[in-house]
A and B are shown apart, each in its own frame.
Chain A
Amino acid sequence: MSDNRVIVVGGGLAGLAASVRIAESGVPVDLFSMVPVKRSHSVCAQGGINACNEIARQQGYSEYEHFDETIYGGDFLADQHPVLEMANWAPKIIDLLDRMGVPFNRTHEGFRDLRLFGGSLFKRTHFAGATTGQQLLYALDEQTRRYETEGKVTKYEFWEFLWPITHEGRCVGIVAQDMRTMQIRAFRASAVVMATGGCGLVFGKSTNSVICTGGAASRCYQAGAAYGNPEMVQVHPTAIPGADKLRLMSESARGEGGRVWVPRKKGDTRNPVDIPEEERWYFLEERYPAYGNIVPRDIATREIFDVCVNEGMGVDGQNQVYLDLTHRDPDYLTVKLGGILDIYEKFVGVDPRFTPMKIFPAVHYSMGGLWTDYTPGDYNPDAPKPGHKSGSPIPVDAQKGHGLTIGATNNMMTSIPGLYAFGEVNFAYHGANRLGANALLSCIFDGLCNGVSVVNYIKDVKEEAPQGVFDEAVRSEQAKHDKLVASTSGGTGDKAYNPYQIAKELGDEMTAASTVVKTGPRLEQAIAKIGELMQRFGKVELGDAASWTNQSLSFTRATGDMLKIADAILRAGLLREESRGAHFRKDFPERDDSRFFKTSVARYNPETGKSDIEFVPVKAPLVEPRARTYGKSDTKKETKETAAAAS
């Protein structure tokens, strides 16, 4: 199959890892990205990348434990086989990145340094300053450039993916548009890998880059690909509020000793450094004595939200709490966290080495994404293991068994044959909540491990799709494009049909209804609101008719696609009448395994333009669900009981 090519859409960690792996096997790769790949959103990842390592191993940690933490952290919603395989690969992935020249921080003796991260009691997070994502992306960008000079990878940068082309049920290429010339054309491929990241912009302001609309994923979903767990969207506990975006303050700030607190006295206006220790409320440490400030993200987020919104204890009466590093040595902080502390200083104008930071939760990561399949490996115990306790001996040989059958052609393939989903756009791995420093791992794992599956798949692809299929796909996209351009003239001028206004209302509604705390009635209200926005979008009026570098057009098109994803997020959230991981329903505050130990699978209904949701049992043969408490001490309840007894 010498003329078989693979298209990779997206040049972040997942897309580049896939490109390198596939090109290395001798298959030519066409790599599409809306930005020069070195500027992909992966650069924003700060904290690190998790893997079992020799020190942690001698302390009782293992790949199995990493797997178990990830499942537990994700509140048992992830299918378990791929997670085990990912944890098994993690140490090898770190070694490979090390060989590629990633400047991982070092110990005095020259070994890779490690830091503590949320959801683990072991140091198992490798890092390069506080810009680990940037450093990993650069390493893969460099390897991709190397293959580019050898003619094995062809880059299409500033090209936007518009639609997957299918023929006889298989994906045979894509339609894409040059963002400068606005040319729309079809590209043939034997397989297509979507590595297009998350959909943070559905929520308006988030920690995501401006390109993270989820538009590409939405187009695949509208073309018939199933979408898994759309309602599972991570709200990161610590972000810097801002006018244009909410900038991430890495979890590593807590991993390196950062303490979260508010003044015990409501509305205390004193300078935080003047507030004595006993007048500070370290609410995470108080409520979670074992994990303290390094509880997983969903828990930290809800506690911060609770303290600010429900108890009104936020700093300066606003929705913000202190994240305090001032007790650490400033020079130590510069070495370990320099990059992120500089960001804070740059955007807020205050040096966090000497003044506590003010932070609040922000939408950060989509655990949900295109639904994908896999073939399990040889590690399949007859019965799931009982609750695994952190640091206890691992099940015999567990880490040696394979979670996945390596190279099986359906690994991480979407419901459309030949269309794969890698990285954040893939729903696998993180269940209902992602652990910090597991995202970089899952992206690179997808590319390296499942890139092999793509190569194997195209070996069996023989028939050629007729040219008419591609011409028709281009015609269809051109028609949608022309309709949008035509809307610039003869419009009403009414702001209701302004795409930026529609996008803003979408973001505001989604943030209000479907982030930290959700309820049935509020979700229903939001579904109605999205319906209204969809109607208005049908009459959208574009502000720029240019046939050259028309950014408004690209943004407007993505807005329409974001509405479709928002509908799926809300409907799945409404039907999931339980609380699990990032999905917290105030009206159903407990996890309900009897009804919802299930993946929500959303399918686009072209008749209604809405989402049909189905619940499918989680594939969980390796470890049984257990209560996810992170050792919380119920101080509030105790206080109430003590007070009642006293009165």
Chain B
Amino acid sequence: MSSTEALREHEAQERKANRARAKAGRSVIFKIIRCDGPGKPSRWESFKVPVEPGSNVISCLKWIAANPVTIDGKQTTPPVWDSGCLEEVCGACTMVINGKVRQSCSCLIDEYAPLEGDTITLEPMSKFPVVRDLWVDRARLFNALKRVKAWVPIDSTYAQGAGPKESPEHQQTRYRLSECMSCGCCLEACPQYNIEEDESKWDESFIGAHAISQARLFNEHETGKRLKGERLEELSDKGGVGDCGNAQNCVKVCPKHIPLTESIGAMGRATTIHAIASFFTGKK
């Protein structure tokens, strides 16, 4: 068992134990960072929220939005947060919960705050500019997908027969990588990835584990390979795979268990080989 698996197993046991001792009919304190907009100061606000079995962070935020009164009885505005599918496949509702980045929809209160008066803290991700309260702007994350040309360059959408055949093992490898929902957990946990509000610097700042893994995904596809050289050039450049400090935090927080460090290793080797090949073929 790898250390990441051991950690995950430990956390799962802890959550299970909490669920088993969760008290019915209790209230939980939510401490939330509030911020009215870019450049505005932020403040903490606390709310006392009644919990039902099956409650999660989203259902509690909805309760607060409908009853926006703090624990001190002060009327406030409904908190703002980003969310979508609520089943952990869209990636929208990512935030920092009790100090750890994750999706808020799959965060069950029973597993994190089992007893009366237990506290849950909610903070926006720190690596992206805050829009308001818990909502951050992750445009830079999607820009990284452009940098590595994360697509298969098909000729056109006209009918031209099937795609390449593929072994089930290879499909499974690609599928695991393709489950990345661009949530940004790996970036929040990464010591090399820092907030960058200046859009003109995005193409030179660290691209992040998710995009390196996407480069691997598309290099693994028969047609996707046509852009392999361009992807490796980008990853060899400033802000590429060389900026990774090997902290291995990314793989520990990935909610989809994508083998991110494996991807980083694979792309690191590929860029080296690419550089040597380019040298001997005189392309660079």
Contact = CB atoms under 8 A, between A and B. Distances in A.
A248 B87 CA distance: 9
A103 B175 contact: yes
Interface residues of B, number: 70
B162 to A, nearest CB: 5
B92 A142 contact: no
A38 interface: yes
Given A43-B90, A103-B174, A546 B36 contact: yes
Interface stretch (B62-70, B192-200, B235-243): B62-70
Contact of B163 (A98, A546, A552): A98
B138 A36 contact: yes
Contacts of A500: 62, 65-66
A107 B168 contact: yes
Interface stretch (B49-57, B117-125, B276-284): B49-57
A243 B54 contact: yes
B178 A135 contact: yes
Interface stretch (A343-351, A506-514, A630-638): A343-351
Interface string A35-52: 110111101100000000
A203 to B, nearest CB: 15
Interface stretch (B24-32, B143-151, B264-272): B143-151
B154 A134 contact: no
Contacts of A145: 142, 145-146, 150-151
B78 interface: yes
B108 A209 contact: no
A110 B166 contact: yes
Nearest to B54: A243
B59 interface: yes
Interface stretch (B2-10, B216-224, B244-252): B216-224
Contact of B135 (A44, A210, A549): A549
A142 B151 contact: yes
A193 to B, nearest CB: 16
Interface string B92-131: 1000000000000110100100000000000000000001
The size bracket of the interface on A is 35 or more
B171 A247 contact: no
A2 B124 CA distance: 44
Nearest to A139: B152
A386 interface: no
Nearest to B183: A39
Interface in B192-219: 218
A95 B161 CA distance: 6
A244 B181 CA distance: 21
Nearest to A550: B80
A335 B152 contact: no
Contacts of B43: none
Contact of A544 (B78, B167, B170): B78
B141 to A, nearest CB: 9
Interface string A600-635: 000000000000000000000000000000000000
Given A101-B224, A103-B171, A134-B179, A544 B163 contact: no
Contact of A549 (B132, B152, B175): B132
A138 interface: yes
Contact of A551 (B54, B80, B145, B178): B80
Interface string A160-185: 00000000000000000000100000
A145 to B, nearest CB: 6
B142 A38 contact: yes
B60 to A, nearest CB: 9
Nearest to A142: B151
Nearest to B137: A180
B159 interface: yes
A280 to B, nearest CB: 26
Interface in A59-115: 92, 95-96, 98-101, 103-113
A349 B108 contact: yes
A113 B83 CA distance: 33
Contacts of A134: 89, 179, 181
A443 B76 CA distance: 42
A139 B163 CA distance: 13
A244 B105 contact: yes
Contacts of A346: 88, 106
Given A96-B154, A106-B165, A106-B168, 14 more contacts: A35-B90, A41-B84, A44-B89, A95-B159, A98-B163, A101-B218, A101-B223, A110-B168, A113-B168, A129-B179, A243-B55, A244-B59, A335-B172, A549-B131
Interface of A: 20-21, 24, 35-36, 38-41, 43-44, 92, 95-96, 98-101, 103-113, 128-129, 131, 134-135, 138-139, 142-143, 145-146, 148-149, 180, 209-211, 241-245, 247-248, 335, 339, 343, 346-347, 349, 448, 498, 500-501, 543-544, 546, 548-549, 551-552
